[in-house]
Amino acid sequence: MPVPKQVIENGAIFPLNRSKDSARVLYVSAIALKLAKSWQQTPQTIAAQLAETLQPLCYPDFAVKVAPAGIIEMELTDAGLAVWLQRLAQTNLPIPESRILSSVVCADRLFPIQYSHARCCSLLRMAHRDRIIAIAQPDVATAPQIWSLASPNPIPWIDEGDRLRLVHPAERRLISQLLTVLDNLSPPFEVNNREKPVNYFKLANSLSEAFQIFYSQCRIWGEVKIEQPKLAQARLGLILATQSLLRFILEDLLNALAPLEL
């Protein structure tokens, strides 16, 4: 479920830009400012009208509101984020008929990304052996492209207060980077091409670095496993989503090996 860069309503296109705030998944549109002159209304009035139309269409995945100066804000809710993470963790990304492959990257430069992918797989297998999660096919020899979870399913992303469990800055940074990757993966699935080609290696490398920071700062075993088992499972779900996306970039866009172990 990639987050759209534009909303289409009754034939009108509302372009969206991602906010740089990694703590929130926020998209903004200045379409009301562009329409103010032709519509002969204030940007705030136009934005309010558009937001009123968009809100029922976007609920419950997005919360829509109007910021000062007539900027429309669409923020991915915790419920919407949980659905998105679940799909990313457990569903193969579609491979376009005409793939846009990246230029050849030196094997030495790919190694940190491949290591992160293999580390994700290792952590998932360890969690399976410790019975924190149950993977349908954990063996390296028979593992499919997507590590399917037998349990928990769905992953407990949301706590008892209907809030996302993943609130640590390193968790939010990794989630933000996952979204950044998906936002930039859209050209292969769209008819229109960008003026500037996407650097898939750079995207994968940034995701790999975000994962390494997350793993160094967010524990899964020890006290977390004993006292907060659902948080441990949610963090493993985040690892599963990361593994899925790293594998897709390595194999389908960089034409490289995504090793299950090193």
pLDDT band at 242 (very low <50, low <70, confident <90, very high): very high
Which of these ranges, 7-11, 46-50, 133-137, 186-190, has the smallest mean pLDDT?
A: 7-11
N-term to C-term CA, the chain: 30
> What pLDDT score does 104 carry?
63
Shortest CA distance to 247 belongs to which of 145, 126, 102?
145
- Distance between CA 116 and CA 96 in Å, rounded? 25
User: What confidence category does residue 9 fall into, taking pLDDT thresholds of 50, 70 and 90?
Assistant: very low
Q: Tens of pLDDT along 124-144?
A: 999 999 999 999 877 767 766
The values of phi and psi at residue 76, to 5°, are -65, 125
Comparing 200 with 146, the larger pLDDT belongs to 200
**Count of residues making up the chain:** 262
